[in-house]
Homo-oligomer: A and B are copies of this chain.
Amino acid sequence: MSADSQRIEKRRTRLRRLVRRETGCRALLVSSEVNVRYLTGFTGDSSWLLLTDDGALLVTDSRYTTQVEQECPDLPVFLRESSQSMTSAVEEATRSLNLKELAAEADSLTYSSWLALTTALESLTVKASSGLVESLRSIKDAGEIAETRLAVEQSEKGFAVLRAMLTGDMTELNAAHELEHAMRRFGAADAAFPPIVAAGPNAALPHARPGNTRIDSSDFLLVDWGAAADSGYRSDLTRILATAKISPKLEKIYRVVLNAQQEAITRIAPGVQCRAVDAAAREIISAAGYGKNFGHGLGHGVGLQIHEAPRVGGSSETELKPGMIVTVEPGIYLPGWGGVRIEDDVLVTRGGYEVLTSVPKDLDSIRLP
Contact = CB atoms under 8 A, between A and B. Distances in A.
Nearest to A207: B63
Contacts of A106: 110-112, 115
Interface string A298-314: 00000000000000000
The 4 A-B residue pairs with the shortest CB-CB distance, nearest first, are A111-B114, A106-B112, A106-B111, A177-B184
Contact of A111 (B44, B82, B128): B128
Given A181-B177, A205-B66, A108 B107 contact: no
A295 interface: yes
Given A110-B111, A177-B181, 7 more contacts: A63-B207, A106-B111, A109-B111, A111-B111, A112-B130, A180-B181, A181-B181
A62 interface: yes
11 contacts: A62-B295, A63-B205, A63-B295, A67-B205, A108-B110, A109-B110, A109-B111, A111-B128, A115-B128, A173-B184, A181-B181
Interface string A158-194: 0000000000000001000100110011000010001
Interface of A: 43-44, 62-64, 66-67, 82-83, 106-115, 128, 130, 173, 177, 180-181, 184-185, 190, 194, 205-207, 209, 295-296, 315
Contacts of A185: 177
Q: Tell me how many chains of this kind the complex includes.
A: 2
A168 to B, nearest CB: 19
A184 B170 CA distance: 14
A282 to B, nearest CB: 14
Contacts of A63: 205-207, 295-296
Given A62-B295, A177-B184, A194-B190, A207 B112 contact: no
A135 B113 CA distance: 19
A108 B112 CA distance: 8
Contacts of A82: 295
A117 to B, nearest CB: 9
B110 A110 contact: yes
Nearest to A109: B111
Contacts of A194: 190
A296 B63 CA distance: 9
Contacts of A110: 106-111
